[in-house]
Amino acid sequence: MVGAIALGTGIGWIGGKILNKWKADEYVDFTFSLGLAVGGYIIADHFLHISGVVTTLFIVVVIITKHKDISTGARKQFHKYWDYLGFITNSVLFFLIGIPLLTVEKAESVGVTLFPIVVAPFAIMMISRAVVVYGGSTFLRIFRVRIPLQ
């Protein structure tokens, strides 16, 4: 973890400095930051054998906090994209964790088709997220914090 944090922070800091000096539009900035994140993951995971996910997380956090010249509109797009990418990767990771729990051979031997094995983790994840979000929203009302239902 320490190595992944250090690598991610270093790459993010250098990338932020480059982006501050390099006056490009938000699409180039975004593409560059995406390249840094993917490249950092590959370096961490495949070459240094440390956590690529943690490295990527720290690259993105440092770039977003250190890249001061990014415009407000582009900053919002950065946040939206990275939030969405985080949501998708989180969903895929939970799905991939759930798949090995029940192998196809075992499932077929007891008469379960592959369809429920693939759909069940997504359904469970979406239901659990709804419980947390709507339950948390109800809990926050105690403190007079309102979250829109949608």
In this prediction, residue 47 carries a pLDDT of: 95
- In terms of Cβ atoms closer than 10 Å to its own Cβ (0-12, 13-18, 19+), residue 14 is middle
Last residue of a domain, one of 97, 124, 141: 97
Token duo for residue 5:
């944090």
CA distance 36 to 42: 10
Q: What pLDDT is attached to residue 110?
A: 65
Same domain, 123 and 54: no
Give me the pLDDT at residue 109, please. Answer: 66
Total tally of structural domains belonging to the chain:
2
Same-domain check for residues 107 and 64: no
- Same structural domain for residues 106 and 73? no
Indicate the pTM of the whole model: 0.52
Task: Mark whether 74 and 130 lie in a shared domain.
Answer: no
Are 43 and 106 within one domain? no
Are residues 16 and 80 both part of a single domain?
A: yes
Cα atoms found within 13 Å of the Cα of residue 10, Cβ hemisphere only: 11
The yes-or-no verdict on residue 71 having pLDDT over 60 is: no
Q: Are residues 13 and 59 in the same domain?
A: yes
Eight-class DSSP state of 61? H
If asked whether residues 119 and 91 sit together in one domain, one would say no
Query: What would the pLDDT profile of 85-110 be if each residue is shown by its tens digit?
Result: 778 878 887 777 766 655 666 666 66
Q: Say whether both 30 and 81 belong to one domain.
A: yes
Same domain, 63 and 9: yes
**pLDDT score for 122:** 81
Neighbour-count burial of 97, counting CB atoms closer than 10 A to its CB (0-12 exposed, 13-18 middle, 19+ buried): exposed
- Host domain of residue 67: 1-97
150 has pLDDT over 90 = no
In this structure, the answer to whether residues 113 and 92 fall within a common structural domain is no
